[in-house]
Structure 1
């Protein structure tokens, strides 16, 4: 009898099959003496759509809202039906004794597998493989500790409740807004409060008014300190600053207080997914999606880091025994690694080992597998370096420094000088010591003031790193879904990614005015997310959660229905449709910006700007544009106006024979042979006459 093992992706299935000796490769699975390893392709099934459940819900009408089905049910996704059918056939084989869920060890991974098993009506025992890395050792250890799937039922209930909540809130509110305001307006349980956070920062920037102020500084032996003030922007007039400096300059200053203390700073804990996404955005301007993709590649393809979609920065106590192997894997990373190994791989940061702070997965750290740097891309190398550097900090001494604080008084006004001396560099790179001032209480200071004019600066727009931090603070989404939410907002044209940060589009600004106030603020979504976590922990009922979601959905739809707010579609242009005269709407597509007719009965559509082709102009050899004319498309050069007929598909696909190719080359070569110029011919004739 054999186990049917369901992985989430073909690459993971391939890794599992190698370890489990499933060497017989088939189109949709690997087979061995004791196992069959197959795979999903992410989700193979999804919740049924409204039109699948009720004929009345096929058309978008306000009268049919809210849509609250008794049972939503699941259906196959069209593009992956073949793989699902293959798993169905494998599940019915008589030599299959049990199934093993080996999808990603998390909420969504659980849902992927459970839906497949539900759809194929699998009625045999089911077990769960729970691993945090894809190395051979981790896979073998995982199969030794395989658990009954029932132990993960609460995780499944949480995932299912999340999917149904997004269906109920997202589809109902989106339909209500779209029908009422006659434009595609997408709202959601998590995406709308996320968009609102970006808008709140924009409002702060819009309300900001720059203000001049003056800074008074005191210079002592090359060290500078600013005047202590309750309001650092309080001096707004140069005359007032000069008057104050004049008063203070009438006598020497006095050192009135010196305090010293030792500060110990341990190295930061390893990354969770959100923190590495934030830091990669700050360092390399990587989007959250790109960072997740890179870490996923290091985990799945290269197998040199642990499971990336984690929300924990801690490790479990049983991992202490693996620390030496992980250090040996990165022995060439830095000179100090050999020292750490020599001293028994002793973790100095004891606080990292806390079982109660590890949820589904521990922190993101290197595996026991040595990296092959020649196989890593530059960006993969950057992310891997970040993960390893954080990991090595666990073995380094804490950074210690002596901090001295000195107060210098000129009558009532004071200046505070600070100088630090490194006692133990520890995990921080060693810095060159700065020249210190020898302070003593009662010491007299000769006044040496400077006045500098400055301008208050506006708050910065949120970038992906700062937005991820706010989403984490308010429990909006999970580490695995936050990047996807940001991308969805950008694709739905509610938000824009710019060089300076994230901006809300005119459409997005309007949506936030039209959508329910309770969906704009993060409190309601934060409450829902905490309830989903409680369901996963077995501390809250998914049935009760969905009853609350249904009640909230009815309230949200009712608010939209009875709203008296107005909407202006900023995508509608002043341009008229040449066929029916209706205004044209500008729309972003993968292929660039297009104009669509706003008349639902008219199908007119054209590009905003001509598409640039790879076809070269015969005159200037630059790329030509494709123009949609009345008689079909043609090429046009925008530089010299040359036009050329565009061949149809048959003509373009027709290949030139070898004979035609040789004949054409001969013709070109003949044309390129140098011809006798008129001047040369005249000189030749003159010479012949002389003879």
Structure 2
């Protein structure tokens, strides 16, 4: 008897086959004495399309919605049907007695395999390979400890519920919006509330009104201090005259130290990375998009085998991994990490609950380096930079907390008080791993990239205590209470409150995580889908809704744009995966909600006006065309879905001139062939029998034509000269 191993990708199948000794290469599988290793190509099977249930659904009609099949069917994806057929034939072989699912160890990976098994009607035993890295050692250990396939039935049920929910809601609402407004408007269970978060921030920015305020800063020679009314005051004065009066009042006045307080503070090392935190950090530090981080990370995991399973939502490690920590440090002790890693290897590692906590790991532990020896020179610049983040975060886990003294001063000048803070680093601890350059704020990084703090830091602090941010941390001299000081100078600072910052991918990911929108594995794709559909834009690492996105969010139902409802669904999917939820009840709720969402679109009386209409008219139906951004640059697209005409936004110019304004006409390709169109007057003339270039003969053709007429046709010299001149003008204009 042989085992059939089903991997998710050809590259993974190749590695599994090598380790398992399946060395005979066939077109669609590898074979050895004990194992036959084959692969999917991502999903080979998908939910059937509406037209598979009834041909009438090929045409999108509002009256046909909602489409809610009594039973959701599966079908083979046509583009990869050859691989499905190969797997189906392998499943029928009499010498294959057991299947081993070796797709990605997660919800989507389980779905890839189970849908194939369902269509081929697999009824023999099956087991599950569940590993967190792709090293030879991990693969061998995984095959030695295969798990019963039925242990993952609940995970499969959760995956099916997620897929059917996205089909029912996304397909129906998208068809309803597109049909009603005759525009390409896409909505979905996760992407719409994500867009709503961006729109909420946009409204905050639009509604913001700056407020001027002033601060007063005193110079004491070696340091500066900020005036505040009392301990709870933020230092802001909203009257310029009052601020100038205060500065004049204390200038030259004797001052004395009123209070000195020094507190030792300890900052623990940052937790290990989960996928979302790594995407956020890579966005802030490296400028990577979430999708870029996912792609690079997948290569580090799958191709180079240098990191553990990427699609994890845990930032902790398990106790059974603790014995491997030193061997992982030995493997990464190369290049810039030699000194950092070897200093840890000389002594027992400090393994605390902050690093290892079995109760906080579900399917997969945090992302850390594997025990695979690393050749840094074999990595691309992108891979090298992302790997650096992961390695330094792993090393930092075993360093001591960072310790520093925080000194707070209160200085009195008459009835006025000035405040100052200073920091003295006592022990760099884990910050040594980063060259000691990280701010005292620690792992959170830039505040404005954190969802909860984005609004506060960007608007320079609501009243309540961020006014002191105008004073930077500074070295302070040794001072004692009662010690006299001289005010060397006093100045007023002119400020304005600032609007909330637009979201970066880092802050949007934080918001999606906070509201439980999507999973670590899907959030990057959601952002990319919004970008691809021209619903949001990215400019200088900031995201904001387009005119299309602003209108779209007003056209969908309140329920669908609410992060709360989607979060409830995600939590229920997690409960189903853990065996605590009811799949039938979940789908029944989704079906009911689908009907109400479609009904709300049908009854909505709001209008949609394309924000990117141009003055160029569609040559087929006459409607004004929209300008969109595509992979090949800007495109002009007809908004009429039934027409569907599109072309490049910058067409070539012909030698033909408009009979009205005499400007050169543009060359276009229409259903009836090439035609010339004047952008200004919209005059259209069909081009027939013209050479390449839209009706303008090339130089060689012109020369031949002129020679033919001059040599073979009896023409008066004046007519021949006129013809040559006309041809030359046509070439040069």
Task: Give the structure-2-normalised TM-score.
Answer: 0.82
Structure 1 unmatched ranges of 5 or more: 613-624, 648-691
Which residue in the other structure is 2:452 paired with? none
Deviation digits for residues 470-529 of structure 1, max 9, x if unmatched? 001111111110010011111111111112511211111111011001111200001000
Q: Distance in 2 between matches of 1:646 and 1:140?
A: 69
Deviates more, 1:175-184 or 1:98-107: 175-184
Q: Distance in 2 between matches of 1:581 and 1:152?
A: 56
Q: Distance in 1 between matches of 2:22 and 2:271?
A: 39
Q: CA deviation at 1:626?
A: 8.5
Deviation digits for residues 367-401 of structure 1, max 9, x if unmatched? 00011112100110000000000000112111111
The yes-or-no answer on 1:279 pairing with 2:281 is: yes
The yes-or-no answer on 1:398 pairing with 2:401 is: yes
Deviation digits for residues 154-181 of structure 1, max 9, x if unmatched? 1111110000000111111111111221
Deviates more, 1:513-522 or 1:443-452: 443-452
Q: CA deviation at 1:142?
A: 0.8
Which residue in the other structure is 2:385 paired with? 382
The yes-or-no answer on 1:330 pairing with 2:332 is: yes
The yes-or-no answer on 1:503 pairing with 2:503 is: no
Shift of the 646–231 alpha-carbon distance from structure 1 to 2, 3 Å rule, reads farther
Shift of the 54–577 alpha-carbon distance from structure 1 to 2, 3 Å rule, reads closer
Q: CA deviation at 1:594?
A: 3.0
Shift of the 250–495 alpha-carbon distance from structure 1 to 2, 3 Å rule, reads same
Q: CA deviation at 1:412?
A: 4.2
Deviation digits for residues 156-213 of structure 1, max 9, x if unmatched? 1111000000011111111111122121211100000101111111222222233433
**Tell me, what secondary structure is at the counterpart of 2:498?**
coil
Shift of the 129–328 alpha-carbon distance from structure 1 to 2, 3 Å rule, reads same
Shift of the 646–101 alpha-carbon distance from structure 1 to 2, 3 Å rule, reads farther
Shift of the 163–60 alpha-carbon distance from structure 1 to 2, 3 Å rule, reads same
Which residue in the other structure is 1:654 paired with? none
Q: CA deviation at 1:579?
A: 5.2
Deviates more, 1:575-584 or 1:183-192: 575-584
Deviation digits for residues 11-54 of structure 1, max 9, x if unmatched? 11111111111111111111111000111111111101111113
Deviation digits for residues 121-141 of structure 1, max 9, x if unmatched? 111001000000000111111
Q: Distance in 2 between matches of 1:530 and 1:601?
A: 40
Q: Distance in 1 between matches of 2:576 and 2:630?
A: 39
Q: CA deviation at 1:454?
A: 2.6
Shift of the 579–194 alpha-carbon distance from structure 1 to 2, 3 Å rule, reads closer
Whether contact under 8 Å (2:215, 2:236) holds in the other structure is no
Q: Distance in 1 between matches of 2:180 and 2:50?
A: 18
The yes-or-no answer on 1:634 pairing with 2:697 is: no
Shift of the 174–578 alpha-carbon distance from structure 1 to 2, 3 Å rule, reads closer
Q: CA deviation at 1:603?
A: 6.8
Which residue in the other structure is 2:258 paired with? 256
Q: Distance in 1 between matches of 2:240 and 2:697?
A: 66
Which residue in the other structure is 1:440 paired with? 480
Whether contact under 8 Å (1:310, 1:364) holds in the other structure is yes
Give the alignment partner of residue 292 of structure 2, picking from 277, 285, 290. 290
The yes-or-no answer on 1:554 pairing with 2:595 is: yes
Which residue in the other structure is 1:158 paired with? 158
Q: Distance in 2 between matches of 1:325 and 1:645?
A: 72
The yes-or-no answer on 1:369 pairing with 2:427 is: no
Shift of the 603–524 alpha-carbon distance from structure 1 to 2, 3 Å rule, reads closer
Which residue in the other structure is 1:127 paired with? 127
Q: Distance in 2 between matches of 1:327 and 1:552?
A: 51
Shift of the 192–605 alpha-carbon distance from structure 1 to 2, 3 Å rule, reads closer
Which residue in the other structure is 2:647 paired with? 606
Deviation digits for residues 79-114 of structure 1, max 9, x if unmatched? 110111010011111111100000000000000010
Whether contact under 8 Å (1:24, 1:31) holds in the other structure is yes
Q: CA deviation at 1:438?
A: 1.1
Q: How does 1:513-662 map to 2 (within 5 A)?
A: 513-578=554-619, 581-598=622-639, 605-610=646-651, 629=675, 630-631=687-688, 634-635=692-693, 644=698
Which residue in the other structure is 1:186 paired with? 186
Count matched residues.
630
Q: CA deviation at 1:598?
A: 5.0
Deviation digits for residues 326-380 of structure 1, max 9, x if unmatched? 0110112230311211214x13444211111112110000000011112100110
Shift of the 437–205 alpha-carbon distance from structure 1 to 2, 3 Å rule, reads same
Give the alignment partner of residue 243 of structure 1, picking from 239, 245, 251. 245
Whether contact under 8 Å (1:217, 1:224) holds in the other structure is yes
Q: How does 1:461-480 map to 2 (within 5 A)?
A: 461-480=502-521
Q: CA deviation at 1:416?
A: 2.0
Q: Distance in 2 between matches of 1:54 and 1:392?
A: 58
Q: Distance in 2 between matches of 1:268 and 1:145?
A: 33
Q: Distance in 2 between matches of 1:467 and 1:49?
A: 32
Whether contact under 8 Å (1:627, 1:634) holds in the other structure is no
Whether contact under 8 Å (2:223, 2:475) holds in the other structure is no
Which residue in the other structure is 2:429 paired with? 426
Which residue in the other structure is 1:168 paired with? 168
Which residue in the other structure is 1:141 paired with? 141
**Tell me, what secondary structure is at the counterpart of 2:431?**
coil
Q: CA deviation at 1:633?
A: 7.0
Whether contact under 8 Å (1:44, 1:116) holds in the other structure is yes
Shift of the 401–536 alpha-carbon distance from structure 1 to 2, 3 Å rule, reads same
Q: Distance in 1 between matches of 2:538 and 2:563?
A: 22
Task: Give the structure-1-normalised TM-score.
Answer: 0.87
**Tell me, what secondary structure is at the counterpart of 1:524?**
helix
Q: Distance in 2 between matches of 1:61 and 1:3?
A: 48
Q: Distance in 1 between matches of 2:319 and 2:131?
A: 16
Q: Distance in 2 between matches of 1:94 and 1:428?
A: 60
Q: CA deviation at 1:590?
A: 3.3
Which residue in the other structure is 1:226 paired with? 226
Shift of the 231–168 alpha-carbon distance from structure 1 to 2, 3 Å rule, reads farther
Shift of the 106–287 alpha-carbon distance from structure 1 to 2, 3 Å rule, reads same
Q: CA deviation at 1:597?
A: 4.3
The yes-or-no answer on 1:342 pairing with 2:342 is: no
Q: Distance in 1 between matches of 2:577 and 2:641?
A: 46
Which residue in the other structure is 1:204 paired with? 204
Q: Distance in 2 between matches of 1:499 and 1:110?
A: 38
Which residue in the other structure is 1:676 paired with? none
Whether contact under 8 Å (1:273, 1:309) holds in the other structure is yes
**Tell me, what secondary structure is at the counterpart of 1:214?**
strand
**Tell me, what secondary structure is at the counterpart of 1:30?**
strand
Whether contact under 8 Å (1:634, 1:645) holds in the other structure is no
Whether contact under 8 Å (1:627, 1:633) holds in the other structure is no
**Tell me, what secondary structure is at the counterpart of 1:484?**
helix
Shift of the 635–409 alpha-carbon distance from structure 1 to 2, 3 Å rule, reads farther
Whether contact under 8 Å (1:245, 1:449) holds in the other structure is yes
Whether contact under 8 Å (1:534, 1:540) holds in the other structure is yes
Deviation digits for residues 37-83 of structure 1, max 9, x if unmatched? 11111111110111111344333222222121111111111111011
**Tell me, what secondary structure is at the counterpart of 2:397?**
helix
Which residue in the other structure is 1:668 paired with? none
